[in-house]
Amino acid sequence: MDNRFTLEKRIQAELMSYDGKMGIYLNDFHGNVITMGQDEKYETASTIKTFILACLFDEVEKGNKSLEELVEYKPEHVVDGSGVLAALEPGAVLRVKDAAVFMIIVSDNIATNMMIDYLGLETINSCIQKLGCKDTILYNPIHFDRYRQLGTSTPNDYGSVFTRLVKGELISKKADGAMLEILKKQHYNSMITKDFPPVYMDSDNTDEILISVASKSGSMDACRNDGGIVFTPYGPYVIVMFHKEFSDAMYYPAHPATIFGARVSKMVLDQFLALEGRFCL
């Protein structure tokens, strides 16, 4: 019997009082992978946008698409929710790479629909499968009044994307590096970083930013998700937290999924730093 109070046991103890279900994938790149419910399917919400970004860069890598091509914001792309393009009228024209950036860094729903239209739903799902994410699917564009779901995935699939991005093994080193730079600019990573000490992430108080994150989160009534790469002085680690089956569908900063996700994330960070780049010895 293992009597050690491991990181996994500490997370399990923390979640005993959580009103919901959290699926977890952690990888410290030293052979320590910690998972809980990693193969269970969850609604993706906006985390599906990471898969769309990967498929875009895969198509560009193959020469089928171009980041410099122009795409038009059409009436059929209009949707409520996050982003900035809702402030514009249909007819605006963007470069593909600019629409992709909006899709990730401000989780722009209209830009996402533009990317789905540009790439094609079948192409996106085919690419997701070829990337080895067998339990991930994008069902349709984002239209809340027409469709009940957006996509489904697993913590394992989402974690594998970020794991391979770190290694430069998802599309290519060049493409993976470009995607990481976009994901580092993502604005909504409060679950991962909410409880991180500000001094670690504020270059005004130190000579450099000690902790940075490349991530993509997602929220809908039925889920709260976050996942990405945390870069530290001891190296990077991958963390994915998918949530469902909570009782409170409202959106607010102190939602239990956000609170418990932040607690788990801080616990993981503390362990990684204490052991100088590992989850366990």
- What CATH number corresponds to the domain at position 171? 3.40.710.10
Domain hosting 108: range is: 7-274
Going from the C-alpha of 89 to that of each of 105, 113, 123, 144, 177, the distances in angstroms are 21, 15, 28, 19, 33
* pTM for this model (two decimals): 0.94
Domain-located, residue 140: yes
Q: What would the pLDDT profile of 89-121 be if each residue is shown by its tens digit?
A: 999 999 999 999 999 999 999 999 999 999 999
- Cα separation, 175 vs 16, in Å, equals 40
Domain count, the chain: 1
Domain-located, residue 98: yes
Domain-located, residue 64: yes
Domain-located, residue 89: yes
Domain-located, residue 167: yes
Q: What would the pLDDT profile of 172-223 be if each residue is shown by its tens digit?
A: 999 999 999 999 999 887 799 999 998 887 656 556 668 999 999 999 988 9
